[in-house]
Amino acid sequence: MNKSSVGDSANHPSGQAAVALLNEETLDAIQWNLLWEQWRPVTPLARAQKNRLQPFLPGDEQRWQGTYHLLQSDVHLLSTVFLKEVRETLREMPDVREILQRLWNMGAAASAGIGMTQHLSARDMLVLKQFAVYGQRLAAKLAGQMCGVSDEALWAGLLRPFGHPDEPSFAVQHIATSEYDEAAKAYSQVLHRRSEAIRKWSNHWQERLGVRPGRDGVIVCKLPGQAQLAARLKETPEVTWQSDTPYESTFAVPPSLEMAGLQREIEGWQQTMDAQAEGILHRLTEQLLDVYDQWDEAVRQTIEVDLRAAKVVLWHQWGGCTPTPADVLSVTDAVHPLLAEKMAQQSRAYTPLTWSPEEGVNILTGLNMGGKTLSVRLLVTCQVCAQYGLPVPAQACSTRLYGAIRLYAAAAAPAESGLSSFGAEVLQMRDSLTGIENARQPVFHCFDEPAKSTNPAEGEALVVGLIESLQAAAPKHHLVVVTTHFSGAMRLRDIPKFRVRGLKNVNLPVAGDNEEFQEDTQVLQQRLRLLAEAMDYRLEPVQSTELAQEGLRVASWLGLPKSVLQKSQRYLVEAAGTRNLRGNQR
Amino acid sequence: MALNLVAEFLEHNWRRVAFIGIAKHAGKTTAMNQAIRQAEEIGVPLGLCSIGLDGERLDTIMGIDKPPVFVPAGTVIASAENALLQSETQLEYLADTGIPSPLGNVLIAKAIWPGKVLLAGVRQRHHVARAVPYLHRFGAQLVFVDGAFDRVASAVPGLVDAAVLVIGAVSGKTVDQVVAVAYPFLQRFHLPLVEDGLRSVFQPALEAQEIAAWDGVELKRFPRHQGILGLRQDAQWSAETTHVFIPGAVSDAVLENLMGHPRPLQVIASHPAQVIAGNGVLERWFRKNHTLVLWQTLPLAAVAVNPYSIQGYSLSESELFEKLTPLVPGVPLYNAAAEEGSDSEQVFRG
């Protein structure tokens, strides 16, 4: 008997914690909880197991790929209709964890020499049998359809001790001994005779006293209305007076001799049957205990089928893929499931992400509202899905297992931390550099516009310093992505750079001089929609060291007054002139 | 000729029927037992459960204190695990509903032989709503819900399709006393329905299960508990209100609070079981020119009249029928305890 593996399997054999792979900030930034919720096994067993699963880590590559081979096979073999049938059967399978735990405890007590003094109840037997009946139906359904989990013989073995193996119900009668059957038959007959005797007895008292006692033999006379009846009963020798209150008198009449005899007979048969039923349940409990390991295996198989079937559902829901092994993460036509759903509700088009960053540090730039943040978050999301063995929401994905994934996004520091936003950003940079320097396994770190909470000159300097340091600290197998607006970063050498393509060559009408800042939500939504249509969100590698300047166009389109924009434009020209002059002087 | 209740149920396609009594010992079990026998005679598979809501304290807390019910073989029942262990029949366990009770989870079981079973553990309306589909699923063509002693908790549209109301001599020493006790119970089922035009006005309040007041122009909504706290004390309440929808119990306290409203007011109750105000308050309510209507009603399948009291006396059967018949237009009245072939088997139509 081996209890340890009941509902205890995990992706990660060594049981390493997920703490090293992900932190809360990263999970929050990609809304992992909402995505994780979309993977929906239907049995309580698998739901509990899902919450215990650990991600795959470097060193697990073989099992990781094995998981995806199974997913590919399941996707290929399980049609949508068939999948629905499988999940409907799974839904019928009750939670047997608590019962199996008790069964195991009974076995442990027996092994310890205490002896098995308890047995499972009829309700426990019902639940276990239902689990086995539906498990057997599932196994028959899955034969040849899902490898490793269609052991019909296992389920048939579990069902055998219960009798009536095709029915998802349980009765002691199903496995009754002939002694029990005889006792039950006699019991039924004597019950019938007692009913007849009670009817005769009741009629007797009705005729004799004009009142029928209750089935318990009690007569209650309400006072004063039934005072005469009470007085008469007190004079009746066979009737026992019990009590008087100002409101009622209570009497008891004895059962007839026949009733008393039948009652003794009933109690005798009842005891016989109870003892027989106890013995039957006890023997059945022992039989179940003998094959405890098989119950354990049945639970394991159920969990596996459920989790895998739910993954196939997720695959279809996300339009997912299985990642292939590679040295670095790359995605083709990745779609964020939550965002795509939201945009579809708003009838807006979604531009899938295709991106192949290189090993080491990468820079992503592009205009505001161009989707840099979303691109980075989606890239991280794809990698986290891959590490959990889930379908990756993309047409194609190749990657490796990383030992740590961090997404450093600008977020307000908690008030109790005593840090400003800038302070929090500095700590993020320190955390990343330390993490990379100390990493024994490849890591994947992303920064979303670091150092934007201080003045631009120093912010730019910090970003340049950070990227150079990351480049120096990160051996090739790490992956680092930094999104930024600072042109200084674009001038760094030997670092792959990407940009969002940005606004297409279309005319976006600008706000007029007299136009007030538009707060009308509908108008703003309309402008956002047109801006999105004018935007090419695709990423492309760039060689240029200059940043495209499209921020003012976007600001204009979003309703910033023309007067402000004109002043901003003039400042830009003047600043460029000053820089050129300084350059010439040098 | 005796009333064939089961045939009535089937004819109207009432598949879930509640048995409710106007008082404890009214004869509800006798009426249900008779219907069970009729179902057995014509081979209609039955499902049974019993709701202990609002019943005796012991019933509510322990889910027990119900007399056993004799069931034919094949009857599907919903009852607590430990109550089933006390049954005098062999059971085939069919499902665990997951409904918890102090006597263990409510299980679904089928009687292998005829015998007595103890129905307990179903204590709330939503438990009934969960248990009844199981009974149908396991083969019950008709489901009887044994109601609480002197309440109509189970007589809720949506939960059941119809109700059998049992009026027993236990409620009074004279026919007039019994009729006086029965009258408000019967009235609940014969209150008029709300006008169609008002349904669209109050629909949002119904969906939100909130109290709502209408003055012909504006619908004001109040939280459900405001009915107990006093609607007229709420700053939002307007003296111009003409109609008020109460999703919960329309009790003495609720009507007393609204009694002094300066213009005729119509209270709209959700369904008959929510009208729990007593006779005295209702009499004064209508005297003040206020009205009471229902959003939804529940058909009365029959009225079972029991002229015998457990206290040892009996009332005139013919007088009871004579006085009750005009109060239930269109509804059959019968004596559930009548002996076969006797004059008492006669059926009256209201």
The H-or-E segment that residue B213 falls in is strand B211-214
Tens digits of residue pLDDT in B161-209: 999 998 988 788 888 999 988 888 888 888 999 999 999 999 999 999 8
Residues A295 and A421 in one domain: no
**Residue A13, in any domain of the structure:** no
Residues A270 and A282 in one domain: no
Hey, what are A134's tokens? 């539906």
**Residue A568, in any domain of the structure:** no
A126 interface with B at CB cutoff 8 Å: yes
Cβ-based burial of A248 (10 A; exposed 0-12, middle 13-18, buried ≥19) = middle
Q: How many angstroms away from the CA of B104 is the closest CA of chain A? A: 10
The H-or-E segment that residue A267 falls in is helix A257-290
A122 interface with B at CB cutoff 8 Å: yes
Tens digits of residue pLDDT in A405-437: 999 987 656 666 666 777 778 888 888 888 888
A211 interface with B at CB cutoff 8 Å: yes
Per the CB < 8 A criterion, the answer to whether A8 and A304 are in contact is no
A225 interface with B at CB cutoff 8 Å: yes
Looking at residue B340, its pLDDT comes to 52
- Domain-ending residue, one of A318, A347, A378: A318
Phi, then psi, of A136 in degrees rounded to 5: -65, -40
State whether B107 and A210 contact (CB < 8 Å).
no
State whether B115 and A188 contact (CB < 8 Å).
yes
* A292-318 helix and A61-77 helix, angle to the nearest 10 degrees: 70
State whether A220 and B311 contact (CB < 8 Å).
yes
Q: Which domain holds residue A345?
A: 324-510+535-546
- What are the CA-CA distances from residue A493 to residues A36, A162, A278, A544, B205 (Å)? 39, 74, 82, 11, 67
CA geometry: angle at B35 spanning B30 and B41, to 5°?
125
All residues of chain A having their beta carbon less than 8 Å from the beta carbon of residue B115 are 188, 191
All residues of chain A having their beta carbon less than 8 Å from the beta carbon of residue B93 are 122-123, 125-126, 169-171
Give A575's pLDDT tier (boundaries 50, 70, 90): confident
User: Side chain identity at B236, as an amino acid letter?
Assistant: Q
Residues A242 and A292 in one domain: no
Looking at residue A1, its pLDDT comes to 47
DSSP structural state of residue B314: B
Hey, what are B346's tokens? 């006669």
Report which of residues A543 and A273 the model is more confident about: A273
Half-sphere exposure of A303 (CA within 13 A, CB side): 26
User: Chain B residues contacting A, CB < 8 Å?
Assistant: 81, 85, 88-96, 104-105, 107, 110, 112-116, 173, 310-313
Which of A123, A169, A191 is the closest to B88 by Cβ? A191
Looking at residue A95, its pLDDT comes to 95
A233 interface with B at CB cutoff 8 Å: no
**Residue A27, in any domain of the structure:** no
Residue with tokens 């936003």: A421
Nearest-by-CA chain A residue for B106: A123
* C-alpha closest to that of A174 among B71, B93, B106, B73: B93
Residues A443 and A388 in one domain: yes
Residue A510 CA to chain centroid, in angstroms? 47
Nearest-by-CA chain A residue for B67: A215
**Residue A525, in any domain of the structure:** no
State whether A170 and B93 contact (CB < 8 Å).
yes
Looking at residue A388, its pLDDT comes to 96
Which residues neighbour B242 within 8 Å (Cβ) at sequence distance 6 or greater?
B214, B215, B216, B263, B264, B265, B266
User: Across residues A552-580, what is the average pLDDT?
Assistant: 76
Measured distance CA(A432)–CA(A447) in Å, rounded: 9
Per the CB < 8 A criterion, the answer to whether A335 and A319 are in contact is yes
pLDDT at A12 over 70: no
Per the CB < 8 A criterion, the answer to whether A248 and A221 are in contact is yes
Residues A47 and A121 in one domain: yes
Half-sphere exposure of B250 (CA within 13 A, CB side): 29
Per the CB < 8 A criterion, the answer to whether B20 and B165 are in contact is yes
Q: How many angstroms away from the CA of B200 is the closest CA of chain A? A: 29
State whether A126 and B93 contact (CB < 8 Å).
yes
State whether B96 and A173 contact (CB < 8 Å).
no
Per the CB < 8 A criterion, the answer to whether B96 and B105 are in contact is yes
Give A324's pLDDT tier (boundaries 50, 70, 90): very high
Residues A366 and A293 in one domain: no
| CATH number, residue A384 | 3.40.50.300
Hey, what are B286's tokens? 């209508």
pLDDT at A158 over 90: yes
Which residues neighbour B41 within 8 Å (Cβ) at sequence distance 6 or greater?
none
Measured distance CA(A409)–CA(A31) in Å, rounded: 13
Residues A379 and A463 in one domain: yes
**Residue A140, in any domain of the structure:** yes
> Which range has the worst mean pLDDT, A181-190, A449-458, B115-124?
A449-458
Looking at residue B140, its pLDDT comes to 96
pTM: 0.77
* A80-91 helix and A292-318 helix, angle to the nearest 10 degrees: 140
Measured distance CA(B240)–CA(B238) in Å, rounded: 5
Tens digits of residue pLDDT in A44-84: 999 999 999 999 999 999 999 999 999 999 999 889 999 99
Looking at residue A2, its pLDDT comes to 45
Residue with tokens 């057997």: A136
Per the CB < 8 A criterion, the answer to whether B103 and B63 are in contact is yes
Residues A197 and A253 in one domain: yes
Looking at residue A514, its pLDDT comes to 46
Residue with tokens 């009913």: A195
pLDDT at A309 over 80: yes
**Residue A228, in any domain of the structure:** yes
Measured distance CA(A509)–CA(B330) in Å, rounded: 74
All residues of chain A having their beta carbon less than 8 Å from the beta carbon of residue B171 are none
State whether B312 and A226 contact (CB < 8 Å).
yes
State whether A126 and B107 contact (CB < 8 Å).
yes
Secondary structure of residue A37 in the 3-state scheme = helix
HEC string of A184-253 equals: HHHHHHHHHHHHHHHHHHHHHHHHHHCCCCCCCCEEEEECCCCHHHHHHHHHCCCCEEEEECCCEEEEEC
Q: Which of B89, B90, B113, B310 to mutate to test the interface with A (most CBs of A within 10 A)?
A: B90
Residues A138 and A286 in one domain: yes
- What are the CA-CA distances from residue A279 to residues A86, A144, A176, A177 (Å)? 37, 40, 10, 10
Tens digits of residue pLDDT in A480-527: 999 988 888 888 888 898 988 776 665 665 555 444 544 566 666 777
State whether A126 and B113 contact (CB < 8 Å).
no
Residues A312 and A249 in one domain: no
Report which of residues B116 and A305 the model is more confident about: A305
**Residue A387, in any domain of the structure:** yes
State whether B310 and A222 contact (CB < 8 Å).
no
Cis peptide bond prior to A224, omega within 30° of 0:
yes
Looking at residue A511, its pLDDT comes to 52
CA dihedral A313, A314, A317, A318 (to 10 degrees): -150
Which of A126, A184, A229 is the closest to B312 by Cβ? A229
* C-alpha closest to that of B169 among B154, B187, B181: B181
Residue B252 CA to chain centroid, in angstroms? 19
Looking at residue B4, its pLDDT comes to 84
Measured distance CA(A348)–CA(A346) in Å, rounded: 5
Looking at residue A7, its pLDDT comes to 30
| CATH number, residue A159 | 1.10.1420.10
- What are the CA-CA distances from residue A573 to residues A269, A367, A491, A570, B39 (Å)? 106, 19, 21, 5, 95
Which residues neighbour A201 within 8 Å (Cβ) at sequence distance 6 or greater?
A255, A256, A258, A259
* C-alpha closest to that of A365 among A225, A491, A524, A206: A491
Can you give the C-alpha Rg of chain A in angstroms?
38
Q: How many angstroms away from the CA of B5 is the closest CA of chain A? A: 25
Residues A245 and A290 in one domain: no
Secondary structure of residue A554 in the 3-state scheme = helix
Tens digits of residue pLDDT in A373-392: 889 999 999 999 999 999 99
Q: Give the full edge-to-edge strand order of the sheet including B266-269.
A: B219-222, B211-214, B243-246, B266-269, B291-294
Looking at residue A91, its pLDDT comes to 96
All residues of chain B having their beta carbon less than 8 Å from the beta carbon of residue A184 are 90, 113
- Domain-ending residue, one of A262, A292, A318: A318
Kindly list the averaged pLDDT for each block of 10 residues, start to end, along chain B of length 350. 82 92 78 90 93 48 59 94 87 94 93 88 87 95 79 74 89 88 86 93 92 91 76 82 92 91 94 85 92 93 84 78 89 75 62
Backbone CA torsion sign across A135, A138, A143, A148: negative
User: Side chain identity at A363, as an amino acid letter?
Assistant: I
State whether A123 and B91 contact (CB < 8 Å).
no
Q: How many domains does chain A have?
A: 3
- What are the CA-CA distances from residue A222 to residues A203, A240, A500, B181, B253 (Å)? 21, 17, 93, 19, 33
Residues A238 and A387 in one domain: no
- Domain-ending residue, one of A318, A335, A370: A318
Measured distance CA(A308)–CA(A476) in Å, rounded: 35
User: Across residues A524-550, what is the average pLDDT?
Assistant: 72
Q: Which of B29, B85, B93 to mutate to test the interface with A (most CBs of A within 10 A)?
A: B93
Q: How many angstroms away from the CA of B177 is the closest CA of chain A? A: 15
**Residue A54, in any domain of the structure:** yes
A184 interface with B at CB cutoff 8 Å: yes
ipTM rounded to 2 decimals? 0.74
Measured distance CA(A481)–CA(A406) in Å, rounded: 10
